[in-house]
């Protein structure tokens, strides 16, 4: 066993959607550190995309390529696939990270807040994976499978107190869709898995960004996540180390899903 190669991404070509900020940017940093040959990132905002591209190319010249577009729009999705296909003959790792959230009280929750979130978080994830299937298939072999890593959420594994109905439903859908995709894609040497992040500072999780100490009170580990936490999990799944993990969703959340007991919990058994 060669440990130096077990978690290496050397020579791999990856695409991270929503890669210019938040968790996507954390994954970009990790993939580059793990040796990726090239990492393509997508974002809707060209300026933000260019800033991230320039920031990381200073340390990793020519290894980060930004492709602008709104993946919830089929024309933009098709343009992205066309551009990537014109540049590469294979894609070793696809990270479906781009996502949206919407919060509103039950009685006022709008259809727009449902459609926007479902379209990006579930529909676009499926159709981008479908469209990139030829590149993924070209990369995958029995001994070196290609990888699809879907970024779900702990909100897809258990309900949270906030009224983010479409977001929680969409992430639960991603967890189950990952299983179904995995069953199909493994036939072509493509391993599909998912990560369910907990609280990480980002524009989507403003509470963790603006008040990390407050967020930490509800986390068994008593801190919010940092780049090494989420990137480490993704590198594991994307590398040789994760080849035999198929269809699984891994919570990387400091114990919220599997180790949290409310401090005011009263055990009816008296223990």
Domains defined for the chain, CATH in brackets: 3-252 (3.40.50.720)
**Annotated active-site positions, please?**
167
Q: What is the pLDDT along the chain (271 residues), one digit of tens a residue?
A: 999 899 999 999 999 999 999 999 999 999 999 999 999 999 999 999 999 999 999 999 999 999 999 999 999 999 999 999 999 999 999 999 999 999 999 999 999 999 999 999 999 999 999 999 999 999 999 999 999 999 999 999 999 999 999 999 999 999 999 999 999 999 999 999 999 999 998 777 767 767 878 888 889 999 999 999 999 999 999 999 999 999 999 999 999 999 988 776 665 655 5
Which residues are CB-neighbours of 62 under 8 A, at least 6 positions away? Answer: 38
The model's pTM is 0.95
């Amino acid at each position: 066993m060669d440990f130096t190669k077990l978690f290496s991404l050397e020579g791999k070509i990856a695409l991270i959607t929503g890669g210019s900020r938040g968790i996507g940017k954390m994954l970009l940093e990790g993939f580059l550190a793990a040796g990726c040959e090239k990492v393509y990132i997508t974002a809707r905002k060209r300026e933000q995309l260019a800033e991230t591209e320039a920031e990381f190319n200073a340390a990793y010249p020519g290894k980060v390529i930004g492709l602008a577009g709104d993946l919830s729009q089929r024309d933009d999705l098709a343009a992205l696939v066309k551009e990537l296909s014109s540049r590469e003959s294979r894609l070793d790792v696809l990270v479906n990270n781009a996502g949206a959230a919407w919060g509103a009280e039950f009685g006022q929750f709008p259809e727009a807040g449902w459609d926007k979130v479902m379209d990006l978080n579930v529909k676009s994830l499926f159709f981008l994976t479908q469209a990139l299937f030829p590149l993924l298939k070209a990369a995958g072999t029995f001994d070196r499978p290609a990888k699809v890593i879907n970024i779900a959420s702990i909100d897809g594994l258990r309900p949270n107190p906030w009224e983010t109905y479409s977001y929680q439903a969409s992430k639960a859908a991603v967890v189950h869709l990952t299983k179904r995709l995995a069953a199909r894609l493994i036939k072509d040497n493509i391993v599909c898995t998912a990560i369910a992040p907990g609280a990480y500072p980002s524009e989507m999780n403003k509470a963790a960004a603006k008040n990390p100490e407050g967020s930490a009170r509800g986390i068994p580990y008593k801190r919010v996540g940092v780049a090494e936490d989420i990137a480490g999990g993704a590198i594991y799944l994307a590398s040789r180390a994760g080849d035999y993990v198929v269809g699984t969703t891994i919570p990387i959340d400091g114990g919220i899903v599997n180790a949290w007991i409310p401090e005011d919990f009263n055990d009816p058994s008296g223990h």
